[in-house]
Amino acid sequence: MNEVNLPFFQKEIKKFKIDLVTQKDSHGSLIYLLQSAQDSYGYIPEKVIHYISEVVGIPAADIYGVITFYSQFRLRPLGKYVIKICEGTACHVNSGKNILKALQNELGISVGETTNDGLFSLQSVACLGCCSLAPVIMVNEETYGSLIPKKIKGIIKKYREL
């Protein structure tokens, strides 16, 4: 795991003007603190969860419960390349499920996971807004449309070679 720069996050916490002595409104601040941690690190490191627990007086187990309840939070960093697969209606009726299967086979991961080498994360989204190009994926900010399963191997290979 990458080293967590806790002093940086301690400065971030001060933005929320939490009274560390009285822990006033600590439960109301938890979501904001978790969002700040994720913005700072790209995910929520274990060390930060324990620090937040100390600051707001909420057990770390309860904080884990909040993190795992909300899909916006991550306990692991995203890969260098985030692949978003569209599961909207246009992509669905144009065999988007076959594209998803090809991605899963090529990467060896499921939706919501990151490859062991940290290169790729696979996410499912409701719509990418490129319906005329269905089925569609995005790799970071690059859009790939009118896909067939055979194209997936080449797309992934391109990013592995970068």
Q: What tens digit of pLDDT does each residue of 111-161 get?
A: 999 999 999 999 999 999 999 999 999 999 999 999 999 999 999 999 999
Domains of the chain: 6-69 (no CATH), 81-160 (3.40.30.10)
pLDDT at 1: 39
Q: Where are the beta strands (DSSP E) in 5-156?
A: 81-86, 120-125, 137-139, 142-144
Average pLDDT over residues 93-98: 96
Per-residue burial over 133-142, b = 16 or more CB atoms within 10 Å of its CB, e = otherwise: bbbbbbbeee
Q: What tens digit of pLDDT does each residue of 8-61 get?
A: 677 766 665 544 445 555 556 788 889 989 988 889 999 999 988 887 888 999
Q: What is the DSSP string of 47-80?
A: HHHHHHHHHHT--HHHHHHHHHHSTT--SSPPPS
CB 100 within 8 A of CB 111: yes
